[in-house]
Chain A
Amino acid sequence: MIVLGIETSCDETAAAVVEDGKKVRSSVVSSQVDIHRKFGGVVPELASRAHLDLLCPVIEESFHRAGLSILDIDGIAVTAGPGLVGALLVGTSTAKAICFSLKKPLIAINHIEAHLYANFIDEEPVLPAIGLIVSGGHTDMVYVSGINEYKVLGRTRDDAVGEAFDKVAKMLGLGYPGGPAIERAAQKGDAGKITFPRPYLPGSFDFSFSGLKTAVLYHIKKHGCKDVEDIAAGFQAAVVDVLVRKVLMAAEDEGVGSILLGGGVARNTVLRKALEEGAFKTGIGFFCPPPALCTDNAVMIAGLGFVKLERGERSSLSLNVCSNWVLGSPLPPLIRGEQGGMGGCRVERDSC
């Protein structure tokens, strides 16, 4: 079965053609990082406009690289949330139009679930597992016992991990995106020199990185913005400590067989190494997709789409997008004529 995957939930316009959920025929990611660099982050409406310009060429390119025609597909999988509403709509509208004209099945995909699925493309992790999805917009810890069987154990209560990296990088004048910038600076620094607080939130699997960000700010206010490398290393160590400790605690509590990592921050080598070591010591498996499948991509969308289509799952052509679609809950249906705070002109596109 050939599935076209479409991903436009944030700043990447991506399309991929995947055969039987695992064989990647093509993967095209047109990163919009250059557009966003001057804004120091993702600007939703700009993202929507860029997706609109890029999506059709990206899809065409994915078929070209796969050596296939759009007529060869057996279905389309598209991200319907969570993400930026305007950006998601570009993807879902395009997917609906193709499915409608070719009479092919459509399946809506939860972006977080797809990040978890990225671990199953090249490997066969033992279930149940604890999944940790960390990126600029997400910090979710999930108990996974099977397809469609998820329990969100913890989320961030304030800033996402990647956002904390971005904000601290901005404070330190290291530029955007903050993750790789902090990691590079931290390599030259001493993580033991400045100890930042570890927000463990005892008794909960939730995360909180806002206080840590503020602690870095107060450090800079008090001591000036010198020893940038040591600050970066100290900050990164605090983040990694919290993530690793909480994931290992959850893994032990739930008695799982493996740990699954995903999302853009999964590319951080210090985090990967620390989790791998922790999992090894606990005697459970550790899985992390290759870097290209950690950051947003459409291979994971098409791959998961195949699994769902095989199970007979289908989405309606009237499917809605949902900016904060919680993993494990159904995608809220489109409520026609619903008026939102913007006089219904734009808010009705998101009814969740």
Chain B
Amino acid sequence: MEQITRSPEETQALGEKIGRKLREGDVVALIGELGAGKTCLTQGLGLGLGVDPNLYLTSPSFTLIKEYRGRLRVYHIDLYRLNSIKEVYELGFEEYFYGSGVTIVEWADRIETLLPPEHVRIEIEVVSENERRIKLTGQACLTPTSEKNK
């Protein structure tokens, strides 16, 4: 699935739509440059996951990880400051990927080999100052068709 959003609000709304479809154990890999809107989209995912709207999912760059409670536990990880897979490996973050919450990883392209093979992948491409091309792949793109196949 691919979609163009034209404002941070639209990016967040798309995130919320995706967030509603996330399930226990899902790992969401977010990829996009600084300022692309990864945290903005994550805030939408949080809303879709039922995290209290008054509790903004703020940037975890400083602390690397923040935890929230929605209809599922939400782990918001930001690898912005990390430079190598080895560092992430030492931090033990991959343990979250095989847990029962939903794990959202910003800058996930820095740890490709640590990501579980069946993760949900969201790539945000900056088209212009306000436009973003958002590409969604994996976990059968969270479409209802995957439910029908069950």
Contact = CB atoms under 8 A, between A and B. Distances in A.
A158 B59 contact: yes
B77 to A, nearest CB: 11
Contacts of A323: 63, 66-67
Given A44-B65, A218-B35, A163 B81 contact: no
A339 B43 CA distance: 25
A210 B59 contact: yes
Interface stretch (A58-66, A102-110, A340-348): A340-348
Contact of B62 (A136, A339, A342): A136
A159 B56 CA distance: 11
A341 B62 CA distance: 21
Interface residues of A, number: 42
Given A43-B87, A341-B75, A214 B35 contact: yes
A342 B99 contact: yes
Interface string B50-72: 00000110110111111110000
Contacts, number: 107
B110 to A, nearest CB: 14
B95 A137 contact: no
B95 to A, nearest CB: 5
Interface in A13-48: 39-45
Contacts of B59: 158-160, 163, 210
A186 interface: no
B75 to A, nearest CB: 6
A241 to B, nearest CB: 21
A59 to B, nearest CB: 24
Contacts of A347: 67, 73, 99
B14 interface: no
A245 interface: no
A341 B39 contact: no
A346 B73 CA distance: 14
A84 interface: yes
Interface in A295-352: 323-324, 339-343, 345-347, 350
Contacts of A160: 58-59, 62
B10 to A, nearest CB: 15
A162 B90 CA distance: 26
B82 A217 contact: no
B65 to A, nearest CB: 7
B58 A339 contact: no
A156 interface: yes
Interface string A200-241: 000000100011011001100000000000000000000000
Interface string B38-56: 0110010000000000011
Contacts of A246: none
B42 to A, nearest CB: 10
Among B81, B82, B96, max chain A CB count under 10 A is at B81
* Top 10 A-B pairs, shortest CB-CB distance: A341-B99, A341-B101, A214-B35, A41-B81, A159-B59, A157-B56, A137-B62, A342-B99, A217-B35, A342-B95
Given A42-B62, A340-B73, 6 more contacts: A157-B56, A159-B58, A159-B61, A324-B55, A347-B67, A347-B99
Interface of B: 8, 34-35, 39-40, 43, 55-56, 58-59, 61-68, 73, 75, 81-83, 87, 90-92, 95-96, 98-101, 103, 129
